[in-house]
C-alpha cells in the first residue's frame, strides 16, 4: 500500500517514512503544497498525510484542491495547530482525521490503518458484467476465475465503464478520467485502447460488452448476468 507524506520538516518525513516502511507501506513524500498536489493528482495513494503549515500552498487549500480534483483518498492532517477552530476548518475542507503534534507513532499507524480500512469497505468492491468480474482493489479482471491480463489504461477504462453501466462516455471524458492531466494529444488514443481491450475479451466472446455509440463514445452493455 502506498502513502504520501506532505510535510516541510524533512527530518520528520524521514522518521515517519522509515517507520511506515517498516510497517509495510510504500512511502512517497513532498515538501510543499504545490508539489504535494501534483503528486496526488498524478498518482494513486491509499492515504495522504499532510501538515497545515506548508510552503507555497497551505494544507487547507491543498485539501480543497485534492477534493476538487475528484480524489477521495483518506486524508490525515498531522499538525501542531491544535485549536478547535483549526480542527473544524481542516475537517470541513475535506480531511478525514486530525492528529496533533507531538504524537505517538503507534497512534498514527492505528489511525492510518483505520482510515484505509473504512475507505476500502465503503468502495464498491466487485464489478460484474455477465461472467466478467472486475476487482478494482486487487486490480484483477477474471472470467470464470481465469485472469485476463490487462494493462493499466485498459483496466482503468474498463473499470470506469463498468462502474457506470449503460452510461455513454465520450472519448474526451474517458481521457479526463483515465489519463487526467497526463495526456494532451488526440482522442484517438481511446480508440486504440478500446481495440486492445476488445481483443483481450474476444476469446471469451465478450468483446461486444464494450459498445460503440456512434458519434458519441463508448459504454458497457450487459445483456445478461450470471
pLDDT value for 226: 41
Q: Give the Cα separation of 27 and 38 in Å (integer).
A: 16
Same domain, 8 and 116: yes
Same domain, 14 and 108: yes
CATH at 153:
1.10.10.10
pLDDT value for 44: 87
- pLDDT per position as a tens digit, 182-213: 666 666 899 999 999 999 999 999 999 999 99
> Given pLDDT bands bounded at 50, 70 and 90, which one contains residue 165?
confident
Q: Which three cell numbers stand for residue 43?
A: 498518482
Query: Does 151 fall in a domain?
Result: yes
Query: Does 48 fall in a domain?
Result: yes
Rounded to an integer, the average pLDDT of 74-96 is 86
Q: Which of the given ranges, 124-138, 170-184, 201-215, has the highest pLDDT on average?
A: 201-215
Same domain, 109 and 144: no
Query: Does 175 fall in a domain?
Result: yes
Same domain, 110 and 52: yes
- pLDDT per position as a tens digit, 91-108: 888 899 999 988 999 999
Same domain, 106 and 159: no
pLDDT value for 187: 64
Domain, as residue range, for 159: 127-220
Tell me phi and psi for residue 214, to 5 degrees.
-55, 130
Same domain, 102 and 80: yes
CB 57 within 8 Å of CB 34: yes
Q: Angle formed by the axes of helices 171-178 and 152-163, to 10°?
A: 120
CB 218 within 8 Å of CB 168: yes
- pLDDT per position as a tens digit, 5-46: 999 999 999 999 999 999 889 999 999 999 999 999 999 899
Output the CA angle 29-32-37, nearest 5 degrees: 75
Higher pLDDT, 102 or 1: 102
Query: Does 226 fall in a domain?
Result: no
Amino acid at each position: 500500500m502506498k502513502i504520501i507524506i506532505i510535510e516541510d520538516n524533512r527530518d520528520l518525513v524521514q522518521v515517519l517514512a522509515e517507520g511506515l516502511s517498516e510497517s509495510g507501506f510504500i512511502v512517497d513524500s513532498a515538501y510543499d503544497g504545490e508539489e504535494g498536489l501534483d503528486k496526488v493528482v498524478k498518482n494513486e495513494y491509499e492515504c495522504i498525510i499532510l501538515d497545515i503549515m506548508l510552503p507555497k500552498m497551505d494544507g487547507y487549500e491543498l485539501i480543497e484542491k485534492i477534493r476538487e480534483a475528484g480524489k477521495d483518498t483518506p486524508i490525515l492532517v498531522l499538525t501542531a495547530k491544535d485549536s478547535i477552530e483549526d480542527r473544524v476548518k481542516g475537517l470541513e475542507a475535506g480531511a478525514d482525521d486530525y492528529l496533533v503534534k507531538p504524537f505517538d507513532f503507534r497512534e498514527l499507524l492505528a489511525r492510518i490503518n483505520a482510515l484505509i480500512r473504512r475507505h476500502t469497505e465503503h468502495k464498491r468492491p466487485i464489478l460484474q458484467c455477465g461472467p466478467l468480474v472486475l476487482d478494482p482493489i486487487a486490480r484483477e479482471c477474471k472470467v470464470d476465475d481465469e485472469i485476463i491480463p490487462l494493462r493499466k489504461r485498459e483496466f482503468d477504462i474498463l473499470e470506469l465503464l463498468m462502474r457506470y453501466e449503460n452510461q455513454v462516455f465520450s472519448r474526451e471524458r474517458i481521457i479526463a478520467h483515465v489519463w487526467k492531466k497526463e495526456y494532451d494529444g488526440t482522442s484517438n488514443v481511446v480508440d486504440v485502447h478500446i481495440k486492445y481491450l476488445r481483443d483481450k475479451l474476444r476469446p471469451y466472446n465478450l468483446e461486444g460488452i464494450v459498445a460503440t455509440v456512434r458519434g458519441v463514445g463508448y459504454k458497457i452493455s450487459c445483456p445478461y448476468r450470471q
